[in-house]
Amino acid sequence: MTTQITMPALSPTMEEGNLTKWHVKAGDSVEPGQVIAEIETDKATMEVEAVDEGVIAEILVAEGTQGVKVNTPIATLAGEGEAAKPATKQETKPQAAPTQAKPQPEQPSSARAPAKQTVAAEATPAGRVHASPLARRLAEQGGIDLAGLKGSGPNGRIVKADVEAAAKSPRAAQAAQQAPAQESRELTRQAPSAQAPMPHKSSEQQGIRAGSYDLVPLDLMRKTIAKRMTESFRDVPHFPLNIDIEIDTLLKARAEINKRFGDKGVKISVNDMCIKAAALALKLVPEANASYTPDGIAVHHHADVAVAVAIPGGLITPIIWAAETKGLAQISHEMADLAERARTKKLKPEEFQGGTFSISNMGMMGIKSFASIINEPHGMIMSIGAGEKRPVVKNDALAIATMMSVTVTCDHRVVDGALGAAFLKAFRGFLEDPMAMLL
């Protein structure tokens, strides 16, 4: 029996990817879990694994092909004893953008055609997860992240028993409860707009003089950023709240921590302390740690803080999960590791997809104040400006203090003005009195 290996969707919003490399060729035998190709998405480079055993019969999409649509057949897999087809021109010459294959309807196993069926390839990050096909199916059905499991099978492979044990954990139950709301949000986002889309305009039609510019093609990251930010700015009713925070005490506490524990590899940044303070403020004002969904307001159990990191061609927001439970040293270590791997596109999907709140800090670039666009489904995003010496009034007298301007952009469907102000008050309290973060 011949099956088709298709381009997998690595996230709910992924529409296409670049097939950067094949690890197999026509005639090679493969087994479940074996890496057969690499895919570049807008955020990371991923590995594609075979889900069935057999022989690669034909390579349908050449390595180097850009913009391969999700569900497009990229190769065929023949059963044992079936001959592989000779290489085609597609294997040696990349094509521009292959046409998306029509999705095949799911049929009961007893009713499937004996000649061919379509199977989506498994994809994992560069540090791939070894799991049996049954374990993968059970994890997908239960909304369980295989990357967080430790396998008890041969060579650390994740098996059925590992997934069943994970399904009983509180975190798995929480993910299962949030899954319907997430699916509903994605369906809403993908639903066709009642308003007809604007026709595409070329550069010249926009008024740019021909021959006066160099056109840089849009890569997957820039396309995704353009689409998501346009949707957010257009569809989310948002408003900013601004506050100035005195951080002299914070800077002294940071310097003391780094002096005392620097020999142990601890190097705390102002950004690390802002992550911790934001997480604690979200727990102190839990109604602000929420997301809007068509089914209701999702009030999150933990403060999962996504932090914007600039990378070549755009940005990505790796997440400090349950930041309220972690100390400053752990937050600092995790943030440094995430930022480094973000710049080399080595993050796992679960490290940058999700979260409950966003932080963007451009203070190190000298930006005094700015407002960010909400990163759905987060209810707020915080914009942190530079700390600078400013004249202030203390006890009716003029004084000098180090001040930092902070802006939160709020989704008014979730966080109204009073709620956003309560969050900012709590956040300022933690920064102006860092010892409160230890309580």
Taking only the tens of pLDDT, the chain with its 439 residues reads 788 899 888 776 678 889 989 999 999 999 888 999 989 887 777 888 888 888 999 999 999 898 899 899 999 998 766 655 554 434 433 334 333 333 333 333 333 333 444 444 444 444 467 776 667 767 776 778 887 788 776 557 787 778 878 877 655 544 544 544 454 444 444 444 444 444 556 666 678 888 898 988 888 888 888 999 999 999 999 999 999 999 999 999 999 999 999 999 999 999 999 999 999 999 999 999 999 999 999 999 999 999 999 998 889 999 999 999 999 999 999 999 999 999 988 888 889 999 999 999 999 999 999 999 999 999 999 999 999 999 999 999 999 999 999 999 999 999 999 999 999 999 999 999 999 998 7
Beta 314-316 vs 309-311: how paired, if at all?
A: antiparallel
- 56 Cα distance to chain centroid: 32
Residues 92 and 224 in one domain: no
CA dihedral in degrees (288, 293, 299, 302; nearest 10)?
Answer: -90
Beta 45-49 vs 65-69: how paired, if at all?
A: unpaired
Whether the bond between 12 and the residue before it is cis, its omega within 30 degrees of 0, is no
Which of 124, 139, 159 is where one domain is finished? 124
Is residue 370 in some structural domain? yes
Distance CA 396, CA 405 (A): 22
Residues 106 and 242 in one domain: no
Residues 103 and 243 in one domain: no
Beta 29-30 vs 54-59: how paired, if at all?
A: antiparallel
Residues 227 and 111 in one domain: no
Residues 255 and 375 in one domain: yes
Is residue 411 in some structural domain? yes
Residues 313 and 425 in one domain: yes
Which of 68, 98, 124 is where one domain is finished? 124
Residues 256 and 405 in one domain: yes
Distance CA 79, CA 257 (A): 62
Tell me the CB-side half-sphere exposure of residue 355, using CA atoms within 13 A: 26
**Residue span of the structural domain in which 271 resides:** 220-438
Is residue 208 in some structural domain? no
> Which CATH number does the domain housing residue 12 bear?
2.40.50.100
- As a three-state string, the secondary structure of the chain is CEEEEECCCCCCCCCEEEEEEECCCCCCEECCCCEEEEEECCCCEEEEECCCCEEEEEECCCCCEEEEECCCEEEEEECCCCCCCCCCHHHCCCCCCCCCCCCCCCCCHHHCCCCEEEEECEEEECCCCCECHHHHHHHHHHCCCHHHCCCCCHHHCECHHHHHHHHCCHHHHHHHHHHHHHHHHHHHHHCCCCCCCCCCCCCCCCCCCCCCCCCCCCCHHHHHHHHHHHHHHHHCCEEEEEEEEECHHHHHHHHHHHHHHHHHCCCCCHHHHHHHHHHHHHHHCHHHCEEEECCEEEECCCCCEEECEEECCEEECCEECCHHHCCHHHHHHHHHHHHHHHHCCCCCHHHCCCCCEEEEECHHHCCCCCCCCCCCCCCEEEEEEEEEEEEEEECCEEEEEEEEEEEEEEECCCCCHHHHHHHHHHHHHHHHCHHHHHC
Distance CA 226, CA 17 (A): 16
Residues 241 and 106 in one domain: no
- 256 Cα distance to chain centroid: 34
Is residue 299 in some structural domain? yes
| 23 labelled catalytic | no
> Which CATH number does the domain housing residue 252 bear?
3.30.559.10
Which of 106, 124, 142 is where one domain is finished? 124
Task: Copy the structure tokens of residue 305.
Answer: 């803080």
Residues 108 and 225 in one domain: no
Distance CA 157, CA 148 (A): 13
Number of domains present in the structure of the chain = 2
Is residue 18 in some structural domain? yes
Is residue 294 in some structural domain? yes
Is residue 163 in some structural domain? no
Q: Which of 23, 301, 333, 412 is catalytic?
A: 412
Residues 114 and 225 in one domain: no
Is residue 47 in some structural domain? yes
The answer to pTM > 0.85 is no
Using a 10 angstrom Cβ sphere, with 0-12 exposed, 13-18 middle and 19 or more buried, the burial of residue 351 is buried
Task: Copy the structure tokens of residue 261.
Answer: 């524990």
